[in-house]
């Protein structure tokens, strides 16, 4: 591959944005000394000034222990105590209130110290969430093993688990979380496991960490007889996203023999592993006017890494590969060779090596994890050995008593819960209602009391509830639950128990429908039902009673108890041509088998209608959208037709079941594709320009092609959907409204749209117009160019509009364009689209362009890119590379 190609495939960052890290108060740090007792104990580690606390609040299993006293003077205090796990195969720490989508450095430290007197060196696995992080193998009683991973927390909670893999007992000495800048250590996918992090001081130096490194990374020393260390007393500008410590950058390694190429080599144990490598380099020598330091970097068989590199004077440059790379035999050999122009040998200040940990197992739905954790706490179920970590994932460690559904694209869901004979006391907790996909629930043979909850009737997927063997439970059945029994969608097993009301109100409770006695109970239930119905008076055809649903009914199709007067005052939808019955919806979705996504108005399911794929949005009973809004939306969509707007195939207005059936968009939304969640392929610049112009055309049609014209009100990347050919269509008109006509006001009293995309003028005036959509589309354009989140609190400028403007003050468009493109884009087109986007997000609405003007400008950007493509060679792509870390102290990159 040509050197120029490699140059385009590598990123060199010299970023002047400072990262705000509150070092003195260790903001965001979690520092646990595992096994520290009593649990209220805290202390400040003398060598690092880090405050450690007990791990007792983060785990409910394991036994505290201490290393042999003879070893304490050799190690830092956080290794003196430990927690071991002689029981259970998986034991997990639970971390809550983390910052969602924040990047963390997570470190586990393991110091055996013969704490158990057995002199048996343990080995076991370490998991991050539901995925395998690393294998821990203790080499000796006094060997400290440190395992680090850089991981983006996708939810506000995370489990770190120790998994027994053999006869020895897992243990841990300390567990630490450190927040990092989201702009650093960017990967195409997966998390980064540390293989090595070294710097090159004199032989007498030791490792460096907090508070010299504000992120508390551990920098190990490296020296050998082929390298010499140089240093400076002058300050080095380390002001980039990596914030390498001054003490690291003030030293550097140079080859002893300056006339020969200089080699660094290391081996990755897993030859299939992919790696990311970060080289931090700064010129720290005082050079004469005639001195030149310039060198080429190649690896393995001479493949160019970077050519003609000249280190910046007293200023850091970080060289790294934007795509992971790997070596067929796991061996990496990097060669530094000075060029013919150079009078000085190559130089490097610090080196980091990581391997990729692919997060393959999707975790359980967040709300269900929370529900199970609360249920565990409410009923004191911490002694259930298997109830550790994620309830469903990985499948081999699924909690005892649970069955789950699994998908390659969706979070795992709990479909059955069996707590038979688990010693439950008190009332039935409402946390069970959060298990919305539950089909079977067994709470039999416990000591539950109180009422049978009404919320069971809202769990429309439930087919079986077993409450037998709870003598203190009031067996009076709520009316709404009786309706489900009546419709035969639910089997309710109550067993032989008495209702506490009175002896005269006894009802022999057995499995309903299971015996002759069950028939008697059904007769009683039906009689009660009709008495209650008569008392409620007249109802409309839709009625107010709660009725049962067919098996497979999703939560989003639950009974809505639609007010009869409201329905009668809003006549049915003007056309019946595309009306679909609820049984037809059940058939086309195969009883709501496959979930495509969820929104504020309900869940979207995959379906097949007349041999064509469709997306079925079932309106949730909890949605703010009532029948009046549903009717208006259907009538609106029925009259909107454009090739770049997602079309309405049909609708369901069948009693309480309301649904919209759209054309199916096979490649999901634009945001998913930008993040690489749709197969991992990076959208090319040409793809992005075409998607932008097509979405703009759809929006321009709403503004100018509809009669009356419409404003979308929720333009964002998740509402731009892609078909199998990556053609773009604007979706989700649930918030769309027509522009005012005949002098009508369009002032809104409720804020609509999505934070970050919403026109700032709307907050001040409550006035809605097409310029609000133009503003939102400008934000979308900036996302397309940068692939940055709209709001990122860790950036110096949190909102993407402000961040782009700030970065452009340097005059370099490359500093904001998505690094995944690896330079493969038209610079003129990039400037043009960014200038257009910034015009769209102008704070003053009357200075924004119209969508017609936006479409025209974007068509020019597409033309520029097509012209560039026709005149340029196809770029070669870089392979992928993985990285892992066993112990910082155990790594030594070979130099020769």
Feature table: binding site for ATP: 617
Active site residue 610: no
Q: Whole-angstrom Cα distance, residue 390 to residue 394?
A: 8
The tokens for 625 are 């959208």
The tokens for 773 are 């959509």
Angle, to 10 degrees, between the axis of helix 516-536 and the axis of helix 479-486?
Answer: 120
Give the count of beta carbons closer than 10 Å to the beta carbon of residue 690.
20
Q: Whole-angstrom Cα distance, residue 184 to residue 200?
A: 22
Of 51, 153, 24, 137, residue with least CA distance to 98 = 153
Of 804, 805, 863, 782, residue with least CA distance to 829 = 863
Question: Which residues are documented as binding site?
Answer: 617
Q: Pick the catalytic residue from 431, 653, 714, 824.
A: 714
* Helix, strand, coil share of the chain (percent; to 5): 25, 25, 50
List 616's β-bridge partners, or say none: 605, 661
Residues 6+ apart with CB under 8 A from 787: 674, 675, 818, 820
Distances (CA, A) of 718 to 672, 673, 674, 729, 757: 8, 10, 10, 11, 12
Give ∠ CA 172-177-182 in degrees, rounded to 5: 145
Q: How far is CA 419 from the centre of its chain?
A: 31
Rg (CA), the chain: 32
The tokens for 34 are 């595992």
Alpha helices in 640-705 (DSSP H): 670-674, 685-704
Question: How many residues are listed for the chain in this entry?
Answer: 896
Containing 297, the helix (H) or strand (E) segment is: strand 295-299
The tokens for 464 are 């079986």
Q: 778, 843 in Cβ contact below 8 A?
A: no
- Residue 151 phi, psi (nearest 5): -140, 135
- Residue 780 phi, psi (nearest 5): -60, -45
Q: Whole-angstrom Cα distance, residue 420 to residue 467?
A: 9
**Residue-wise burial string across 405-414, b where 16 or more C-beta atoms lie within 10 A, e elsewhere:** beeeeebbbb
Containing 180, the helix (H) or strand (E) segment is: strand 174-180
Q: Whole-angstrom Cα distance, residue 638 to residue 871?
A: 44
Containing 632, the helix (H) or strand (E) segment is: helix 627-638
Q: Whole-angstrom Cα distance, residue 469 to residue 447?
A: 8
Give the count of beta carbons closer than 10 Å to the beta carbon of residue 608.
13
- Virtual torsion, Cα 395, 397, 403, 406, nearest 10 deg: -20
DSSP label at 501? T
Give the count of beta carbons closer than 10 Å to the beta carbon of residue 350.
26
> Burial of 565 by CB count in 10 Å (0-12 exposed, 13-18 middle, 19+ buried)?
exposed
Give ∠ CA 255-257-261 in degrees, rounded to 5: 70
On the CB side of 105, how many CA atoms lie within 13 Å of its CA?
23
Determine if the peptide bond prior to 211 is cis (ω within 30°): yes
Distances (CA, A) of 419 to 115, 387, 397, 462: 37, 12, 17, 16
The tokens for 122 are 């343990």
Q: 221, 207 in Cβ contact below 8 A?
A: yes
Which sequence positions are flagged as catalytic? Answer: 714
């Amino acid at each position: 591959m040509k050197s120029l190609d490699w140059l385009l495939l590598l990123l060199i960052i010299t970023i002047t944005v400072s990262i705000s890290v509150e070092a003195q108060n260790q903001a965001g740090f979690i520092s646990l000394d595992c096994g520290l007792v009593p649990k209220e104990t805290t202390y400040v580690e003398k060598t690092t000034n880090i405050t450690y606390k007990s791990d007792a609040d983060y785990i409910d299993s394991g036994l505290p222990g201490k290393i042999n006293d003879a070893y304490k003077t050799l190690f830092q205090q956080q290794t003196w105590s430990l927690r071991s796990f002689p029981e259970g195969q998986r034991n997990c720490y639970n971390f809550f209130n983390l910052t969602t989508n924040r990047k963390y450095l997570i470190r586990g430290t393991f110091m055996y110290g013969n704490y158990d007197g057995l002199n048996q060196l343990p080995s076991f696995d370490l998991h991050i969430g539901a995925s395998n992080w690393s294998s821990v193998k203790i080499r000796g009683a006094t060997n400290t093993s440190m395992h680090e991973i850089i991981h983006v927390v996708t939810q506000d909670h995370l489990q770190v688990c120790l998994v027994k893999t053999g006869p020895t007992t897992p243990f841990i000495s300390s567990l630490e979380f450190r927040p990092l800048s989201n702009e650093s250590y960017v990967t195409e996918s997966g998390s980064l496991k540390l293989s090595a992090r070294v710097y090159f001081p004199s032989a007498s130096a030791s490792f460096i960490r907090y508070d010299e490194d504000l992120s508390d990374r551990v920098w190990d020393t490296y020296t050998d007889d082929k390298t010499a260390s140089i240093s400076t007393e002058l300050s080095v500008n380390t002001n980039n996203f990596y914030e390498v410590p001054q003490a690291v950058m003030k030293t550097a390694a140079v080859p002893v023999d300056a006339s020969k190429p200089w080699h660094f080599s290391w081996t990755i144990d897993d030859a299939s592993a992919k790696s990311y490598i970060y080289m931090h380099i700064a010129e720290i020598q005082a050079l004469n006017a005639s001195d030149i330091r310039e060198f080429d970097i190649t690896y393995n068989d001479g493949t160019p890494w970077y050519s003609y590199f000249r280190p910046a004077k007293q200023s850091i440059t970080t060289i790294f590969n934007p795509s992971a790379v790997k070596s067929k035999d796991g061996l990496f050999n990097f060669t530094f060779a000075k060029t013919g122009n150079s009078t000085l040998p190559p130089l490097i200040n610090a080196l980091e090596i990581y391997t990729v940990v692919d997060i393959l197992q999707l975790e359980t739905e967040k709300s269900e994890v929370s529900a199970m954790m609360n249920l565990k706490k409410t009923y004191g179920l911490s002694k259930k050995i298997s109830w550790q970590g994620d309830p469903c994932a990985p499948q081999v460690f699924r909690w005892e008593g649970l069955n789950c559904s699994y998908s390659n694209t969706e979070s795992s869901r709990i479909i059955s819960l069996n707590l038979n004979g688990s010693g439950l006391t008190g009332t039935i907790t409402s946390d069970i209602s959060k298990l919305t996909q539950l089909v079977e629930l067994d709470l039999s043979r416990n000591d539950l009391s109180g009422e049978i909850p009404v919320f069971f009737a809202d769990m429309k997927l439930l087919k079986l509830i077993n409450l037998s063997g709870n003598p203190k439970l009031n067996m009076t059945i709520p009316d709404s639950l009786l309706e489900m029994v009546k419709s035969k969608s639910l089997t309710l097993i109550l067993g032989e128990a008495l209702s506490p009301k009175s002896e005269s109100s006894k009802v022999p409770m057995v499995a309903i429908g299971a015996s002759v006695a069950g028939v008697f109970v059904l007769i009683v239930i039906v009689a009660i039902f009709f008495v209650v119905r008569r008392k409620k008076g007249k109802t409309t055809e839709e009625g107010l009673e709660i009725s049962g649903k067919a098996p497979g009914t999703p939560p989003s199709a639950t009974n809505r108890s639609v007010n009869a007067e409201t329905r009668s005052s809003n006549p049915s939808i003007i056309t019946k041509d595309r009306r679909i019955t609820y049984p037809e919806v059940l058939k086309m979705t195969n009883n709501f088998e496959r979930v495509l996504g969820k929104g504020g108005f309900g869940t979207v399911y995959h379906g097949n209608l007349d041999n064509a794929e469709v997306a079925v949005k079932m309106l949730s009973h909890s949605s703010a959208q009532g029948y009046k809004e549903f009717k208006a939306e259907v009538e609106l969509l029925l009259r909107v037709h454009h090739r770049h707007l997602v079309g309405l195939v049909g609708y369901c207005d069948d009693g309480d079941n309301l649904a919209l059936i759209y054309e199916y968009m096979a490649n999901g939304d634009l945001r998913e594709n930008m993040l690489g969640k749709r197969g991992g392929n990076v959208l090319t610049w040409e793809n992005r320009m075409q998607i932008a112009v097509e979405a703009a055309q759809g929006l321009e049609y709403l503004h100018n092609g509809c009669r009356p014209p419409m404003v979308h009100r929720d333009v964002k990347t998740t509402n731009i959907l892609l078909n199998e050919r990556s053609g773009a269509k604007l979706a989700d008109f649930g918030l769309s409204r027509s522009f005012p006509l005949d002098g009508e006001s369009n002032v809104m009293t409720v804020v609509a749209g999505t934070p970050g995309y919403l026109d700032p003028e709307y907050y001040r005036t409550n006035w809605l117009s097409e310029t609000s959509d133009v503003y939102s589309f400008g934000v979308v354009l900036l996302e397309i160019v940068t692939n940055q989140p709209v709001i990122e609190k860790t950036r110096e400028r949190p909102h993407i509009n402000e961040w782009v403007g700030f970065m452009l003050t340097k005059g370099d468009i490359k500093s904001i364009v998505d690094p995944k493109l690896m330079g493969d884009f038209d610079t003129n087109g990039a400037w043009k689209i960014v200038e257009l986007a910034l015009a769209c997000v102008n704070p003053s609405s009357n200075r924004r362009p119209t969508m017609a003007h936006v479409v025209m400008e974007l068509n020019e950007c597409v033309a520029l890119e097509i012209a560039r493509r026709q005149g340029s060679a196809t770029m070669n792509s870089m392979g992928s590379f993985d990285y892992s870390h066993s112990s910082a102290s155990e790594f030594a990159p070979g130099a020769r």
